Copies of this chain bind each other. A is one copy, B any other.
Amino acid sequence: METKGKSERPPYHHGDLRHALLDAAEKELAERGIEGFTLRGCAKRAGVSHAAPAHHFRDANGLLTALAALGFERFLSCQKARQADAPQDPRSQLVASGLGYVDFALANPALFRLMFASERADFTSDDLAHNADAAFGYLVQGVAAIRGRDPYGHTAGMLDVMATWGITHGLADLMLSGRMKPLLAMPPAARDAALSQIIGRAFPERPDDR
């Protein structure tokens, strides 16, 4: 109970190392990017030896996979946050979720890349696959609300889904790589307006018009 007399050594067992490692991994990812990510760096951040993570995550990619799974949850939260401030009609709601999509990407660039453009996250993992599917399902449901029927099964519906996802994702990804300078230079309100205008093109009133 009392101290050892000299420096209080950290306890041998961390207590919640799993959480601590996920936090550390997120910071590591944010600061050094996915290509500079290091398992040893995460361990050091969490104040633990370099081999400790292996007990909670199989290997470096295992840690990244768990982090990506968490990412998809926050990804959905960002979309819902935008929707809460938007009008309730289906079109406004779908556009708002697109704005949330971009919000998340800009706020967590490396994590976004891990989730959408990396081979290191293992999508056969149940956790990750489940959360990623949930995000996709949310999009489909948003499109269904506009068109009034389930987009699955008929081509026009799938076109709407792919157009919406494609344009939102493309804008987000290009902004992350520093392209889309005009958008990046705009003040927030103007940027939101421009993004909304573009995203809205994905689901025109007359979907079959060319």
Shortest A119–chain B CB gap in Å is 5
CB–CB A210/B197 < 8 A: yes
Tell me, yes or no, whether A205 is within 8 Å of chain B by CB: yes
Contact of A169 among B159, B173, B183 (CB under 8 A): B173
Given A170-B168, A174-B166, also A159-B205 (CB < 8 A): no
**Are A118 and B162 touching (Cβ within 8 A)?**
no
Instruction: Count A-side interface residues using an 8 Å CB cutoff.
Output: 42
Bound complex: CA A176 to CA B204 (Å): 26
Q: What's the Cα separation between A149 and B117 when bound, in Å?
A: 36
Nearest-CB residue, chain B, relative to A112: B117
- Chain B residues, Cβ within 8 Å of A173: 116-117, 169-170, 173
A22 adjacent to chain B (CB < 8 Å)? no
Q: How many copies, total?
A: 2
Question: Does residue A209 face the partner (Cβ distance < 8 Å to B)?
Answer: yes
A167 within 8 A of B: yes
Interface set, chain A 66-109, CB cutoff 8 A to B: none
A20 CB within 8 Å of chain B: no
Residue in B closest to A61 when the chains form the complex, CB atoms:
B35
Question: In the complex, which of the residues B35, B113, B118, B167 contacts A166, with contact meaning CB atoms closer than 8 Å?
Answer: B167
Check if A200 sits within 8 Å of B205, measured CB to CB.
Answer: no
Using A201-B202, A204-B201 as known contacts, say yes or no to A166 and B177 having CB atoms under 8 A apart. Answer: no
Q: How far is the CA of A171 from the CA of B119 in the complex (A)?
A: 18
In whole angstroms, how far apart are the Cα atoms of A120 and B35 in the complex?
8
Whether A198 lies near B116 (C-beta < 8 A) is: no
Cβ–Cβ < 8 Å partners of A204 in chain B:
201, 204, 209
Q: For residue A155, which residues in chain B have a CB less than 8 angstroms away from its CB? A: 194
- Indicate if A158 sits at the interface (CB-CB under 8 A): yes
User: In the bound complex, how far is the Cα of B140 from the Cα of A180, in angstroms?
Assistant: 12
CB atoms of B118 and A35 under 8 A apart: yes
